[in-house]
Amino acid sequence: MTESARLHTRRVFFALWPPSEVLETLDALADRIAKICGGRRTRRESLHMTLVFVGAVTQEQLDRLLAIGGLIQGGAFAMNIDRLGYWPHNRIAWAGCSEMPSCQRRLYDSLSANLHGQGFQLEKRPFVPHITLARKARCGDLPILEQPIRWSAAEFALVESLPQPAERQYLSLASWPLRTAVDKKICKEC
Ligand code: 2AM
């Protein structure tokens, strides 16, 4: 990347935004976890689940990402957010699923394959779908989620991470529907 291109990069990722009723529950959960673990809770409007983190891209690459998003034939799926976790290395407290729905795995695989095919370098770490609830947290034992949070994913989005004075802000650049089994014979099991 040239110096001029580097100066004009934008930091982006593919993600799922929670539907309003799920957002409500995650918002309350983020409050609860920050009270237990300290740190800075994720703002309500920033609660999301990353599908694939892409990183800094040029305008030309951004255009290619938008084209890739439109090509993906993903199936709608439902997740059970049923566990809380803590990563000591980056001090993130999060919520996630014990089991990843097969449609989510396929969506991730399909996005990754298309991105690789277009020359994007992706994370080598295994994909751990999660919602960051608090940063700079210090968690000991985490509570058990009494009731799983059922999240029906009907679309995915390309999101830009914008640096703000206090905290990064996430802005949806485009979103695409995930089809239901009725629309198309894909992911009937989800
Ligand atoms: P995090 O919440 O666990 O930090 C925007 O930064 C989104 O992309 C967040 O969901 C963040 O996960 C994720 N993200 C940031 N850097 C990443 C990286 N290098 N690899 C994977 N995901 C990343």
Could you report the per-residue pLDDT of 82-123, keeping only the tens digit for each?
999 999 999 999 999 999 999 999 999 999 999 999 999 998
pLDDT of residue 189: 47
Residue 145 located in a structural domain: no
Residue 42 beta carbon below 6 angstroms from any ligand 1 atom: no
Q: Which domain holds residue 16?
A: 8-29+43-84+96-131+152-183
Q: Specify the CATH number for the domain of residue 50.
A: 3.90.1140.10
Residue closest by Cα to atom 2 of ligand 1 = 132
Write the CA distances from 1 to 5, 7, 57, 62, 66, integer angstroms: 6, 10, 10, 14, 20
CA-closest residue to ligand 1 atom 17:
53
Does the pTM surpass 0.75? The reply is yes
In angstroms, what is the span from residue 50 Cα to ligand 1's centroid? 7
CB 158 within 8 A of CB 172: yes
> Which parts of the chain register pLDDT below 50?
188-190
Ligand 1 centre distance from Cα of residue 179 (Å): 26
Amino acid 181: pLDDT = 63
Cβ–ligand 1 distance for 13 under 6 Å, the answer yes
**Does residue 2 fall inside a structural domain?**
no
Non-local CB neighbours of 75 within 8 Å, separated by 6+ positions: 103, 106, 107, 178, 179, 180, 181, 184, 186, 187, 190
Where b means 16+ CB within 10 Å and e means fewer, 119-136 reads: ebeeeeeebebbbbbbbe
Provide the pLDDT for residue 167: 84
C-alpha span between 89 and 5 (Å, rounded) = 32
Atom of ligand 1 nearest to the CA of 130: 3
Tell me if 176 CB under 6 Å of ligand 1. no
Could you tell me if residue 111 is inside a domain? yes
Provide the number of structural domains found in the chain. 1
With respect to residue 91, please indicate whether it lies within any of the assigned structural domains. Answer: no
